[in-house]
Chains A and B, each alone.
Chain A
Amino acid sequence: MERHFDEQLNELKHLLIKMCALAETMIGDAVKALVQRDATALPFIRQHEAEVNRLQVEIDEACFTMIALRQPTASDLRFILGAAKTNTDLERLADQAVNIANKAERLMKHDPIKPFVIIPQMTELARGMVRDSLHAYVNRQPDQAREVIQRDRQLNALKSEIGDEMLGFMQKDPSLVPYSLDIVLVSHNLERIGDHAKNIAENAIFVIEGKDIRHGTEFRTDLPSA
């Protein structure tokens, strides 16, 4: 039997998809501003941030109301709790895009030390993780969620690579410390975006399978099995 409640759950899904699309655009625009030294997209990032913040409140309100009015159980309950958590991760990862935009504004005033290679790679990886984790959650794809979790390692490896590279510049020429440090921080922002996407993916698995795999529990053998 098709339930009226399903319509409300679908609306919730659509709000999350909208929020995710905005966040993804913000990440792309922020890095584009940095790499192409082009400030045109910066005001849009701030506008999108305001919209993301508004959606965060709207989604929390929707979850809160549905729990109070529908007393969801089983898969409905997991889906709504999952939506509230995913909501938080999406808002935080959008904040990371704003952090990148702030640094881009500073950095674009200087010539780059070297062409950007790893930052665009990290960006594509992080954006893909965000998109796919939400896709996995909304469309109930546990395999895709697990695959996103695996991708997080690549992002961490790239971040270390940037750290080493920038450390080299800083040691050679202390005048490059402020610039290099900002680049390291951007890589940190991107790595954090990946972490949030990983949270969303882990959450998706909980929503779909009812299995809590956070903190690597799925791959550990020293814990009691569920």
Chain B
Amino acid sequence: MSENVITVSKLDLWYGAFQALIGVNMAVEKQKITALIGPSGCGKSTLLRVLNRMNDLIPGVKITGEVLLEGRNIYAPGVDVCALRANVGMVFQRPNPFPLSVWDNVAFGLKVAGQRGGQRVEEIVERSLRGAWLWDNVKDKLDHSALELPLDQQQRLCVARLLAIEPEVILMDEPCSALDPIATAKIEELMLELVQKYTIVIVTHNMQQAARISHYSGYMLLGEMIEFSETNRIFTNPKDKRTDDYISGRYG
């Protein structure tokens, strides 16, 4: 039986007077990759940021509708937003490691959560770096600044930093757009590995990437979810002509 980790229902979002999301419905299945695609400004990044309340930081945002994480509304009063973001982590377009050592980047979340050094932290750091396929690259320079790493390793370090705090869901906002094709392929393979344990939602303006790695795809246009389905169906036989036009490059 498939199980949905996140369910978005009738979601509307306004930035001031501008409505950026209109009646969006979406279900994110556990341990699958869900991709959001669509032209620039269609609302895909906004929708992604709804899932761990990153939009809360933007003034003038108003949200109605429901976003359930494991059955609980994340917009209900009294929700611990820090705990939510630990459970629903995010990887951004540009790798954003802290200006700290490789080790401290990965251990950072643990320290925030109150774990202070010792065997357990060591174990978690190594396991997280291995989980992000980075251990072999950095095991001899754990005390080097993270900013010295090549971009793709920095991006995988950001993934390792998330893994350390064991989120359930990983959100990725165009995680490969700053990377070359080889580095992109590595991140994609990593995602296919991670999805055995984690649930991933990715925003990508690279349609081919969505096709290659995702299990479900949602095509968005002007704030609406035009079509949401299995990726196989979206890329071989979409139901909506607007999806077909976008996928086949006639529009967008």
Please tell me which stretch of B101-109, B139-147, B184-192 contacts chain A, meaning at least 4 of its Cβ atoms lie within 8 angstroms of it. Answer: B184-192
| Min C-beta distance of B221 to chain A, whole Å | 21
CB of A68 closer than 8 Å to a CB of B:
yes
CA–CA, A119 to B186, complex, Å?
55
Interface size on A, residues (CB 8 A): 10
Query: Are B189 and A3 closer than 8 Å at their CB atoms?
Result: yes
| Min C-beta distance of A84 to chain B, whole Å | 15
Digitize B190-203: 1 where CB-to-A-CB distance is under 8 Å, 0 elsewhere.
00100000000000
CA–CA, A71 to B247, complex, Å?
13
Point out the residue from A4, A68, A70 that lies within 8 Å of B189, measured CB to CB: A4
Chain B CB count within 10 A is highest, among A3, A4, A68, A69, for A69
Q: Which residues 1-35 of A sit at the B interface, judged by CB distance below 8 A?
A: 1, 3-5
Query: Are B211 and A69 closer than 8 Å at their CB atoms?
Result: yes
CB of B208 closer than 8 Å to a CB of A:
yes
CB of B177 closer than 8 Å to a CB of A:
no
CA–CA, A1 to B232, complex, Å?
25
Q: Main SS of chain B's interface residues?
A: helix
Query: Are A69 and B189 closer than 8 Å at their CB atoms?
Result: no
Q: Which residues 206-252 of B sit at the A interface, judged by CB distance below 8 A?
A: 208, 211-212, 231-232, 235-236
CA–CA, A4 to B185, complex, Å?
11
CB < 8 Å A-B pair total: 26
Point out the residue from B185, B186, B192, B212 that lies within 8 Å of A69, measured CB to CB: B212
Name which residue of chain A comes closest to B213, CB basis. Answer: A4
Query: Are A70 and B236 closer than 8 Å at their CB atoms?
Result: no
Interface size on B, residues (CB 8 A): 11
Query: Are A68 and B236 closer than 8 Å at their CB atoms?
Result: yes
CA–CA, A69 to B209, complex, Å?
9
Query: Are A71 and B211 closer than 8 Å at their CB atoms?
Result: yes
Query: Are B212 and A1 closer than 8 Å at their CB atoms?
Result: no
Q: A71-B208, A71-B211 are in contact. Are A65 and B236 (CB under 8 A)?
A: yes
CA–CA, A65 to B186, complex, Å?
22
CB of A116 closer than 8 Å to a CB of B:
no
CA–CA, A70 to B209, complex, Å?
8
Query: Are B211 and A70 closer than 8 Å at their CB atoms?
Result: yes
Q: A1-B185, A1-B186 are in contact. Are A68 and B235 (CB under 8 A)?
A: yes
Q: Which residues of A contact B232 (CB under 8 A)?
A: 65, 68-69
CB of A44 closer than 8 Å to a CB of B:
no
CA–CA, A1 to B186, complex, Å?
8
Q: Which residues of B contact A5 (CB under 8 A)?
A: 212
CA–CA, A5 to B189, complex, Å?
9
Digitize A56-96: 1 where CB-to-B-CB distance is under 8 Å, 0 elsewhere.
00000000110011110000000000000000000000000
Q: Which residues of B contact A65 (CB under 8 A)?
A: 232, 236
Query: Are B211 and A4 closer than 8 Å at their CB atoms?
Result: no
CA–CA, A64 to B211, complex, Å?
13
Query: Are B211 and A1 closer than 8 Å at their CB atoms?
Result: no
Name which residue of chain A comes closest to B247, CB basis. Answer: A68
| Min C-beta distance of A10 to chain B, whole Å | 15
Q: Which residues of B contact A68 (CB under 8 A)?
A: 211, 232, 235-236
CA–CA, A5 to B236, complex, Å?
18
| Min C-beta distance of A85 to chain B, whole Å | 20
Q: Which residues of B contact A1 (CB under 8 A)?
A: 185-186, 189
| Min C-beta distance of B45 to chain A, whole Å | 23
Name which residue of chain A comes closest to B188, CB basis. Answer: A4
| Min C-beta distance of A60 to chain B, whole Å | 12
A-B contact pairs, 18 of them (CB 8 A): A1-B185, A3-B185, A3-B189, A4-B189, A5-B212, A64-B236, A65-B232, A68-B232, A68-B235, A68-B236, A69-B212, A69-B231, A69-B235, A69-B236, A70-B211, A70-B212, A71-B211, A71-B212
Residues of B bordering A, CB below 8 Å? 185-186, 189, 192, 208, 211-212, 231-232, 235-236
* Known pairs A1-B185, A68-B235, A71-B212 / 7 extra A-B pairs, C-beta < 8 Å: A3-B189, A4-B192, A64-B236, A65-B236, A69-B212, A69-B231, A70-B211
